[in-house]
A and B are shown apart, each in its own frame.
Chain A
Amino acid sequence: MIGAEHLTIATPTPRDVVVTRGFDAPRDLVFDALTRPALLQRWLEAPGRSMEVCEIDLKVRGAFHFVWRGPGRKDVGMRGVYLEIVRPERIVHTETWEDWDAGESHVTIVLTEHRGKTTFTHTARFPSQAVRDGVFESGLEQNAKETYDKLAALLAAVMSDEDSGAHQEIAR
């Protein structure tokens, strides 16, 4: 359980990004705000763009289609299919970007409720580290990707060190 309005972003592996956020509302309302087009369109924006197309067929194997549009900007489109829906606690769906042959990401959203407040956890698993980096590139300065590669390498190194469990490579 995390406090309302508390936001954390973690990159536990080179392919994953985990976003958690607390909300001062019960989870059935948060679930509605995530899955009902008239509600989702009111808050889920892309940089400089509002969501103009929002079609949701909320059932297992049902599809969704979103398009974000903004003045002077290229449309951003996304499609996906729902794999799991457990109202009001869990949604798993695929995600592919239109006009970007990047493959398919998997997103798992978990809502937990404690005393009328909700913790939202959004885990995105990208098809590759390169795709994840590409998603983050928009609006960043030119060196950011290179730096991000370094950060990813750091995380990978830390994890492989932990996996091997030992201190073999210590101090020569």
Chain B
Amino acid sequence: MSQPAISKHLKVLERAGLITRGRDAQRRPRRLEARALAEASQWLETYRQLWDGNFRRLDALLGEMRAGETPRGLAQRRSQRGRRRGLPPPEPGDTR
């Protein structure tokens, strides 16, 4: 990476508050704002966990669907299980 490119990247990071610039004679030492970075990745991690939980349940459901059941059979089984659990049966439109 060229020196101008490095300067450009540092300027973007500085504007975003992820690094700060000091002053030491001719040098401009940059300091990493670790707290800001940690919070940014924490936000992404929270969002990721939300999707990840849903997708793991979807993995299990797809595994069941793949295990040789026709969609219609699965929906019927779901309906029976739903009644046992006291859940409402599938909507009237939920057939193919």
Contact = CB atoms under 8 A, between A and B. Distances in A.
Interface of A: 4-5, 7, 9, 17, 19, 21, 23-25, 29-30, 32-33, 36-39, 42-45, 47, 54-57, 136, 139-141, 143-144, 147-148, 150-151, 153-154, 157-158, 161, 167, 169-171
Contact of A147 (B5, B12, B36, B55): B36
How would you classify the secondary structure of chain B's contact residues: helix, strand, loop or mixed?
Answer: helix
Interface of B: 3-5, 7-8, 11-13, 15-18, 36, 39-40, 42-44, 46-48, 50-55, 57-63, 65-66, 71, 74-75, 78-79, 82, 90-91, 93-94
A39 B78 contact: yes
B93 A29 contact: no
Given A25-B66, A37-B90, A157-B15, A42 B48 contact: no
Given A36-B94, A43-B57, A147 B11 contact: no
Contact of B15 (A43, A45, A139, A153): A153
A51 to B, nearest CB: 10
B43 to A, nearest CB: 5
Given A23-B59, A29-B66, A44-B54, 11 more contacts: A7-B55, A30-B58, A38-B82, A38-B94, A140-B46, A148-B40, A151-B43, A154-B15, A154-B18, A161-B12, A170-B4
Contact of A33 (B36, B47, B61): B61
10 contacts: A25-B65, A29-B66, A39-B65, A55-B91, A57-B93, A144-B43, A147-B43, A161-B12, A167-B8, A169-B11
Contacts of B16: 150-151, 153-154, 157
B65 A33 contact: yes
Nearest to A46: B50
A158 B50 CA distance: 27
Contact of B58 (A33, A36, A140, A144): A33
A9 B90 contact: no
A42 B7 contact: no
Contacts of B90: 36-38
Nearest to B77: A38
B43 A5 contact: no
A158 B51 contact: no
B7 to A, nearest CB: 4
B55 A21 contact: yes
A54 B78 CA distance: 15
